[in-house]
Copies of this chain bind each other. A is one copy, B any other.
Amino acid sequence: MQPNRPYEAGYAGVGLTYGRVPFAIDPAEFADADVVIVGAPFDEGVSFRPGTRFGPRAIRQAEDVGAPAGRPNMELGIDPFTALRVVDAGDVDVAPAFLQQSHAALRARVSEVLAADAVAIVLGGDHSLSTPVMQAIADRHGADGYSVIHFDTHADTGLDDTTPHAIPFSTGVKEGFLLGSNIMQIGLRGNWPYPHEFDWMREQGFRWRTMSEVVELGIGAVVREAIEFARARAPRTYLTIDIDVLDPAFAPGTGTAEPGGLMTRELLFAARAIASEVDLCAMDLVEVSPPYDHANITAMAGHRVVYETLSGLALRRSGRPARPERS
C-alpha cells in the first residue's frame, strides 16, 4: 500500500509524489510508464542565491487538491494522469556539497528512464542538471538525435571559468553531446551572455529570441517558430525551462531573478503548445528556490508548467485534437 494513498485534502498525506502518482524507484517499474518524474534536489552549481535543493519537494507539494481528484486540462479536454502512465521515481541520490556525484546519479537515472522509452521529467534543482540530462539523451539518441527548446533569462553558455549552472549549453557543444544548431532559446535578457559569448553562439548556430523580441512578436509567434525549429532539426526534443524566464513578480523564488520577464500565462501557453506539437524525450523545470518564494507562488507556477507539458504530451499521444471546455 502506498503512502500516497487517496486523500480528499490537498494538505494531507505523507507520500508526496508529483500529482500523487505511484512511486516507482525500481527501473523495472518504468517499463510501462509513459513519463517518469525525477527529482534533482541540488544547488551546488549556482552563482548567486542558493536554495533550489528545496525545489523538487516544493513543486510536488504545490497542489491544493488531494489524490483522488482528476486533473483534466480544460483547454485540451484531456486528463494527462488518465491518458498517460505517469510514475514518480522520487529524488536521485544527491550528495550534499558534492555536485559531481549528484550529476552522475541523475545521468544514470535519466538513462534508465530513456531506456524504458519513457519521457523523463526532471524537477530541479539548479540548471547545471541539464548537463547530465543532455548527456543521457545523447548517450541514447546521439547528439544529432534531439533538439532543444530552452526558456530562460540566461543562455547558460558561459565560455569562461564560471559556475556549473551557467555552462550546460556551452559545455554540451564543446563536449559534443549537443549540436549548437539544434537549440532555440527564448526569453534572454539582462546583461549576460556577453558579446563574445553571443558571437560564439552565432558561430555554433544557436537560435534565440530575446525577451524584447518576445514582447514585440508576441508569445504565440515565437512559440510557433520554436515548434517548427525543433521539428526541423531533430526527431525529438528536450524542453528545458528555467523558472527565471518569468518576471520576478511571478517567480520571486529563484536564484538569479531578472526583472522584465514573461507572465506565467504566457509560459503556460508555451509549454502546452510545444508539448502538443513536438515529440518530447525529456523536459525539466529548474531553479525554483523556496527560501525566496512567497506563498508558494513560484512553486505553483513550476508545478503548472509541468502539468501543461504533461497535458500537451497526453494530447499528442492521443492523436486527437484538443477539445477545450467551452460554454
A157 to chain B, nearest CB (A): 12
Q: Which residue of B lies closest to A1 (CB)?
A: B25
* A228 contacts chain B at the CB level, 8 A cutoff: no
Set of chain B residues within 8 Å of A264, measured between Cβ atoms: 247-249, 259-260
- Contact partner of A12 (CB less than 8 A), chosen from B71, B91, B163, B256, is B91
A49 to B195, CA, bound (A): 35
Mark A287-327 against chain B: 1 for CB-CB distance below 8 A, else 0.
00001111111001100100100000000000000001111
Would B74 and A191 count as touching, CB distance under 8 A?
Answer: yes
Would A297 and B248 count as touching, CB distance under 8 A?
Answer: yes
A314 to chain B, nearest CB (A): 12
Segment of A13-21, A170-178, A231-239, A276-284 in the binding face? A13-21
* A30 contacts chain B at the CB level, 8 A cutoff: no
Set of chain B residues within 8 Å of A190, measured between Cβ atoms: 74, 304
Known contacts A198-B325, A300-B259; A295 and B253 CB within 8 A of each other: yes
Known contacts A15-B3, A291-B291; A93 and B300 CB within 8 A of each other: no
Known contacts A1-B26, A51-B291, A97-B46; A259 and B14 CB within 8 A of each other: no
Q: How many residues of chain A get a CB closer than 8 Å to chain B's CBs?
A: 112
Q: Which residue of B lies closest to A71 (CB)?
A: B191
* A88 contacts chain B at the CB level, 8 A cutoff: yes
| Interface pairs (10), CB distance under 8 Å | A1-B25, A3-B17, A7-B93, A8-B96, A11-B41, A12-B39, A15-B16, A215-B269, A261-B265, A291-B291
11 A-B pairs besides A47-B65, A49-B51, A72-B194 with CB distance below 8 A are A1-B25, A7-B93, A14-B15, A14-B23, A47-B97, A51-B291, A64-B257, A69-B192, A210-B324, A257-B297, A259-B297
